[in-house]
Amino acid sequence: MTSRYRFLWRRLMQIKINYKAVPRPLFKVTQNISLPCSLGFSLLTLIGLEKKLNAEDELILTIKHCVLFIQRCEYDKAEQLLHVALKQAQQMQHQSGITYIYDVMANLALEREQYDKAKQLFIAVSQRIMADGATEDDLRVIHMSIKLARISHMKKEYTTAQLGYDWCLEKLNSAILRNPSEENKMLLAMAEDWYGRLFLDCNKYELGFNYMQSAYNRMTSFTDIDKEHLVVQLNDLGTVCDRIGKIDESIDYFTKAIDLGKQIPDMPDLGVFYVNLGRAYIKKNMFDIARKSCGHAWRLGVMMKNNNVKHEAELCIKEIKDNS
């Protein structure tokens, strides 16, 4: 899988919680980690922009600089340059270039949690590609619809979000029957993952877990996927299992997350996984193993200067002392 097909949902799947001194998993899902920004499934290939413009064209160079700023999380610079690129495309009357720039703007707005702005832009992109002949079964239209459902979810418009996800899943399952391409499967995994997280927010943990597990199983079959994405997904599955009382399964997921996370240099959330594993062992009254896990989390917190992990590990160790 090329870089343009990195999983954009990796940076958009945050479940916000507050750290509390209670025996529970951290439910840690990191949104803004240093991975490619939300440009996955880029319309650059899907609308054939690169084929229509020379690689040295001024517009292409401007867009590439925009993407570079986004990858560096220099969002203000990216937005300013995107408006320059849009003006260039409009002066050239390059319709596919305009569409692509709107798409990048929409993803940037979604990245910055500017949901109303992102919604307007994604709708504009959908309208433009449909005016160019795309139908509602077109992969690009479904892609936009998934993002619009995600925006409704983030705005807590849960009924609208559910209707959107249901429509997208129906279209994607039909598309895969016709063409089981990896692109179609990637979109389905993204939709399932986001849909699962919607159910978590609605306290429907069993249903949410089923969708997230299905998404994870699809992810593991892809030819190229970031290990860091899989690690976070494993931790989240373990957290949901803990919430619904499946402690043995949660331990299995946390352990897999740790084992895979060790293969990633400077994995930022590794300490989180150790705390979660320790708390799961506390629930089984296996205090020696829990103490070892939380102690390791504390050391990682100190080494990586992560005060949240260090604090949670200290709470975990205190709980062990109080109960053992």
User: Per-residue pLDDT tens for 178-219?
Assistant: 999 888 898 999 999 999 999 999 999 999 999 999 999 999
| Alpha-carbon gap, residue 222 to 72, rounded angstroms | 26
- Measured CA to CA, the distance from residue 199 to residue 162 in angstroms comes to 9
CA trace torsion 225, 226, 232, 237 (10° rounding): 10
Q: What is the pLDDT of residue 205?
A: 94
Pairwise pLDDT comparison (29 vs 158), residue with the higher score: 158
- Band of residue 22 on the pLDDT scale cut at 50, 70, 90: very low
- Cα–Cα distance for residue pair 254/273, rounded to 1 Å: 6
Query: Does the pLDDT at position 26 exceed 80?
Result: no
Joined together, the tokens standing for residue 85 give: 């690129």
- Which has the higher per-residue pLDDT, 42 or 87? 87
User: Does residue 296 register a pLDDT over 50?
Assistant: yes
Q: How large is the average pLDDT for residues 215-230?
A: 88
- Predicted confidence at residue 215, as pLDDT, reads 94
User: Could you tell me the pTM of the whole model?
Assistant: 0.83
pLDDT, mean over the chain: 83
Query: Out of 9-23, 112-126, 279-293, which region has the weakest mean confidence (pLDDT)?
Result: 9-23
More confident position, 281 or 183: 281
Q: What percent of the chain has pLDDT over 70?
A: 83
190 contacts 9 by C-beta, under 8 angstroms: yes
Residue 37 has pLDDT above 60, yes or no: no
Contact 276, 239 (CB under 8 A): yes
SS3 assignment for the chain = CCHHHCCHHHHCCCCCCCCCCCCCCCCCCCCCCCCCCCCCCCHHHHCCHHHHCCCCCHHHHHHHHHHHHHHCCCHHHHHHHHHHHHHHHHHHCCHHHHHHHHHHHHHHHHHCCCHHHHHHHHHHHHHHHHHCCCCCCCHHHHHHHHHHHHHHHHCCCHHHHHHHHHHHHHHHHHHHHHCCCHHHHHHHHHHHHHHHHHHHHCCCHHHHHHHHHHHHHHHCCCCCCCHHHHHHHHHHHHHHHHHCCCHHHHHHHHHHHHHHHCCCCCCCCHHHHHHHHHHHHHHCCCHHHHHHHHHHHHHHHHHCCCHHHHHHHHHHHHHHHHHC
Start-to-end CA distance of the chain, whole Å, equals 49
Residues 174 and 79: their CA atoms lie apart, in Å, by 37
Q: How confident is the model at residue 263 (pLDDT cuts 50, 70, 90)?
A: very high
Helix axes of 205-219 and 182-201: crossing angle, nearest 10 degrees: 160
Ordered domains of the chain (ranges, CATH): 36-133 (1.25.40), 135-225 (1.25.40), 227-324 (1.25.40.10)
Give per-residue pLDDT as tens, 39-61.
344 544 444 555 555 544 788 88
Q: Is the pLDDT of residue 96 over 50?
A: yes
Q: Is the confidence at residue 166, as pLDDT, over 70?
A: yes
Q: What pLDDT, on a 0 to 100 scale, did the predictor assign at position 303?
A: 92
Give how far the C-alpha of residue 50 lies from the chain's centroid of Cα atoms, to the nearest Å: 26
- pLDDT over 50 at 157, yes or no: yes
Least confident residue range of 119-123, 186-190, 249-253 = 186-190
Looking at per-residue confidence, does 229 or 39 come out higher? 229
The predicted structure's pLDDT at residue 49: 54
